[in-house]
Amino acid sequence: MAWAFAFWNRHNDAIIGILGSFCRECERVVDEKNTSGVPSFHMEEQGWIVKGREYRKRSDWGLVAAYLFGAAPSLALTAMHVESGKDQAYIFLHIGVVILIGCACFYILKNAGIRNKLASGKFVEHNGKWQFVVEYSNAV
């Protein structure tokens, strides 16, 4: 279940990130220097989107906390069975669950890097067609 939500979360971040980059490019086409004084939500210079990404990072941590809370019963059952020396298969099953949930937490925490990567993306015209281009670096 944790992995399903982790993948879903990453998918939503990617879609929102690409749409955010599209909106930023549209805002720049209309008023690149913001001479109109109208707030521009997606331009980094005004700080709105930066603040939004900060809050999104907090949401990631909340999801990680929920995952870890969900792993607590497996940790408790593993500790009980290790202490009593019973059923090695049961112990390994719960250790596996904890490891999988821990990996899902790590995956979620990498979302901030994906969001930053997508935020640096640009729409570029190439042979009459527009493409979304993300320069890959060691930012993740």
Mean pLDDT of the chain: 81
Q: Over the stretch 64-95, which tens digit does the pLDDT of each residue have? A: 898 888 888 877 877 777 767 667 777 777 78
Cα three-residue angle 13-24-127, rounded to 5 degrees = 100
CA–CA distance, 47 with 41 (Å, rounded to integer): 8
Q: Give SS3 for 110.
A: coil
Tokens of 33: 């220097």
CA–CA distance, 98 with 120 (Å, rounded to integer): 35
Q: In 10 A of CB 112, how many CB atoms?
A: 18
How far does CA 131 lie from the centroid of its chain? 23
So where are the chain's domains? 2-31+46-133
**Per-residue model confidence (pLDDT) at position 33:** 78
Q: Which amino acid is at 119?
A: A
Please answer whether residues 74 and 80 qualify as being in contact, where contact means their C-beta atoms are separated by less than 8 angstroms: no
CA–CA distance, 113 with 49 (Å, rounded to integer): 15
> Which residues touch 109 (CB under 8 Å, ≥6 apart)?
60, 61, 64
Stronger pLDDT, 91 or 15, i.e. the higher one: 15
Q: In 10 A of CB 134, how many CB atoms?
A: 15
| Residue 139's pLDDT band (cuts 50, 70, 90) | very low
Tokens of 68: 């870890």
Longest CA span, the chain: 72
Q: Which amino acid is at 42?
A: H
